Every structure is written in C-alpha cells, then in structure tokens.
Structure 1
Amino acid sequence: MSCFNVRVYGIMINEQKQVLVSDEYIRGGYYTKFPGGGLEFGEGTLECIIREWQEELSQQVEVVEHIYTTDFFQISAFDGTTQIISIYYLVKPISPFTAPILNQPFDFEIPEGVTEVEGVRWINWDEFNAATVTLPIDKVVADLVKVKY
C-alpha cells in the first residue's frame, strides 16, 4: 500500500527583501522550514495554505503564484514510510503581520513533555539560501526562490 503526505507551504518576502522561515522543534529534532503544513482531506491546496497561515501565524494571506511542486521521490523525515509531496506558493499578507518574531534560530523554550514548538523569523535576502532550511524539498525551493525573485 502506498501512502502519500501532501504538504503545502507559503513563501513570504517582505519589503526589506527578507524571507520568513519557521524554526520548529518536532519530536526531538530541530528544523528550519517554510511556514505551512498538511493538506486535510476535502481541502484544496489554496484553502490549506490560507488555513495553515491563519492557524500558525494568525495571518491572513493571499496566494500570489505557484512556485513549485515536488517532482522527485522524497520519503518523510518524520515517519520514514510515507512519500512527501510538497506544494509551495508565493504569498502576501492581507492583514497586519502580528506574529511574534524570533531574533535568532530556535530562540524558544521547550517545556517538559512538549513534542512540538515553533516560532518564525525573517532571514535577510543576502543570507537566505538552501543551507538556511533543513528539509530536502525546502532546499530545492530556496534555490528556486533565490533565482526567481
């Protein structure tokens, strides 16, 4: 039986030419990735990215354009059994940006017994590249973003 996990992420670039990333502690590991998450059954990818940004950042966004959909086989880093298909969109804010911003990577406390903690931060354009994100598909997208924008 094949099992797929569809993930939808947003790339936001602000007026200062900074890219928003999410620093996350997930099941004992540290990951820097783009904000977004899993597609829920019955939901379209555009609905998903709008919901995820609202849930994670209390941020209303508008999708500007599609950037990339995974075109290679990638096994999940988290369960080792599902195939990941990630879809990336360029998004822009349509509500004030009010999410707390981390000043440095993983600048958060991890309470005892908690398995997931996340925070977002801006990375300056000159410092942003594939090495600034953790997951393999995100690295491909970071390179694309640097070329395209």
Structure 2
Amino acid sequence: MTPPTNWPNPERPGAPLFPENYGKHKLIDKETGNELNADWNNADEEWLLPNGWLSAKNAATHFAYVECVSVELTPTQITEMLAGERERCVSAFAAHGERAELAYNDSTGDEEKQYWRGAINTFEECRDEIRHMGDVS
C-alpha cells in the first residue's frame, strides 16, 4: 500500500485540518505505512508524536495526513463547513437541472414542456432548500 501524501491544504504541507486549533489527528508514516496519533500545537506549529516534537515542515516530509480525530471547532467553523457541504450537494446534482433545462428548451409539445418545467421547479426548490438549511432568520 502506498500511503497518501495529502495534507488538507496543499499550500501548508505539514499543517492539519483547522491548523488554528489544538487537536488530535491521525498521520501515516510514509516509510512504514503505520498510522499514529499526533497532537497539533497551533502556537508553535508543530506536532507532538509518541517519540517527541516535530515541526510541520518535517512532518510533511515524513508523514501523510489521514484525518482529524478531535478538534474543538468554533461555531463559525462549523457553520462554514456546513455551508460548504451544502454547496457541494447542490453542485452534485446541478447537472440534472441543466439537463432538464435543455430538455425543456428542446420540447415541442405542451405535455412534454409541462413535464420538464416540473423537473426544473423541483430542482430549484431542492437547491434553495439545501442552501437555506440552518438559516435561523
């Protein structure tokens, strides 16, 4: 198995997901493929590993990032994550709405146009509902 070499932000190799927060994360040793838990120290931007401290730069060289195990997120971070997830959901089925629009434009009969107009309306309603999930206004 080739361990992954990804880090959450390619522009900050060695930094975890939510680098501004302290937290526990799982890393993979690129040489051995072994997983280990590491604590991120955001103040010094370094990792506490079972055998000592390691800078983010060195961590990027020797380890691959797997996942966040526990990080205390702020309400703003949670809101931003959920908003991003909602937009990814909308994007995932946006092509269906576009195809329905094309089919509507190519329709010749009233019954066919009615069908595709219903499909477009359903897509638009679902899109709007997803985007407004969590709105408290």
Q: Normalised by the shorter chain, which TM-score bucket?
A: under 0.3
Structure of greater Rg:
2
Greater strand fraction, Structure 1 or Structure 2: 1
* Structure with a larger share of its residues in helix: 2
TM-score when normalising by structure 1? 0.21
TM-score, normalised with respect to structure 2: 0.22
Query: Of the two structures, which has the highest relative contact order with CA contacts closer than 8 Å and spacing of 6 or more?
Result: 1
